[in-house]
Structure 1
Amino acid sequence: MSDISTEDFGGWFSPEDLATVRRRMPILYVDAIPVRVDADGVIQQVALLLRTPREGGISRALVSGRVMYHELVRDALARHLDKDLGPMALPRLPVSLVPFTVAEYFPTPGITAYHDPRQHAVSLAYIVPIDGDCQPQQDALDIGWFSPEEVVSPMVQAEMVSGHGALVRTALATTGRLI
């Protein structure tokens, strides 16, 4: 990770300041699709977090979060993977930081497949192979592993939030695993 801490620049915004910024400009995020691959690099399983969203209920989500001020995208990706999957997940971060897609989340539904009622966000999306054991962390209730066929099933897609189902479908399509 970078030697420069975000704390060197005053940390992050207060909740009030963040709400103001969210109303006025897009925020940069990273989305990670954790996968298990076979010896040939073919996706065999996709991990989804089981969470309780702010609105209530239970849903499935991807590893996702903001890139902080003065933080490298690689460091943000590593931080969110560690935060959500635990320190023993052993993710293999991509050598190239070129995302498989850029997802634009809008507060207004229907503009794109991605929706975030809090803000306009732009997310760099990555497929990240996981070599270790994942343990639910912080607000995740569980981590479920699904085959590519299962993760695109209508039942699992209906459980996913914010357009994450569309993001998984795009990831599988870019790797030739979409059925």
Structure 2
Amino acid sequence: MTWTDVERQLGWLSQEELDTARGRLPILYVEAVPVRVDAAGAVTAVGLLLRASDDGAIQRELVSGRVLYHEKVRDALMRHLEKDLGPMALPRIPASPVPFTVAEYFPTPGATAFHDPRQHAVALAFIVPVAGDCAPQQDALDLAWLSPEEAAHARIQAEMFGGHGVLLRQALAHLGHPI
């Protein structure tokens, strides 16, 4: 085990410690919009996860998760993509990733387009091409690959909560797709 692995293990918080931290300071997250690209680099599909929320609602989500203490943003992206899409997803994350936007989530609804009742969170949002076989992992029920036009449809947006629909529209706009 390397020193970084030891430090990262020390960065895990108990649920009680995490709840206390969430109540006192913003938490850093990464969010990823997984995409498939053709040989010319054009986006052909957008990957959306299907999950059941704590209250039993079925919703579509993006890949998302916390950045751990002493963890590089690139490593956090890789960890969450593999956790949600499987170890064979083969994400192509650049050596120095740059987010397409920053989303600031507030526990107060309406403060921004992004809402998380648990906490104030700041999320760096990335568009990440994946080249391998993807299969939903962890608590994801399904992974759907939609064309950019399908992903922009109001019906899909209505299935996304907390601002993920807004983030998806921003990603599509960043890619040059009409929204």
TM-score of the pair, normalised by structure 1: 0.95
Q: Report how many residues are paired.
A: 178
**C-alpha distance after superposition, 1:145-175 (max 9, x if no partner):** 1111111111100001211111111011111
* Unmatched 5+ stretches in structure 2: none
Partner of 2:121: 121
**C-alpha distance after superposition, 1:99-126 (max 9, x if no partner):** 0000001111111111111000000000
Letter aligned with residue 93 of structure 1: I
Secondary structure in 2 matching 1:12: coil
Partner of 1:93: 93
The CA deviation at 1:8 is: 5.5
Alignment of 1:109-148 (within 5 A): 109-148=109-148
Change (3 A) 1:88 1:94: same
Alignment of 1:1-20 (within 5 A): 4-5=4-5, 7=7, 10-20=10-20
Alignment of 1:44-55 (within 5 A): 44-55=44-55
2:74 touches 2:96 (CA, 8 Å); kept in 1? no
Letter aligned with residue 97 of structure 2: L
1:43 touches 1:177 (CA, 8 Å); kept in 2? no
Q: Which structure 1 residue ranges, 4+ long, deviate > 6 Å from structure 2?
A: none
Partner of 2:155: 155
**C-alpha distance after superposition, 1:2-40 (max 9, x if no partner):** 961155662411111110110110000000000001112
**C-alpha distance after superposition, 1:37-82 (max 9, x if no partner):** 1112111110000001112111000000000001111100000000
1:32 touches 1:125 (CA, 8 Å); kept in 2? yes
Q: Which stretch of structure 1 is more off in the superposition, 91-100 or 134-143?
A: 91-100
Q: Does 2:84 correspond to 1:84?
A: yes
Instruction: Quote the Cα distance in structure 2 between the aligned partners of 1:143 and 1:152.
Output: 16
Percent identity of equivalent pairs: 65
* Unmatched 5+ stretches in structure 1: none
Partner of 1:56: 56
2:49 touches 2:141 (CA, 8 Å); kept in 1? yes
CA RMSD across the alignment: 1.5
Secondary structure in 2 matching 1:145: strand
Instruction: Quote the Cα distance in structure 1 between the aligned partners of 2:79 and 2:51.
Output: 18
Partner of 1:175: 175
Q: Which stretch of structure 1 is more off in the superposition, 90-99 or 45-54?
A: 90-99
Change (3 A) 1:88 1:9: closer
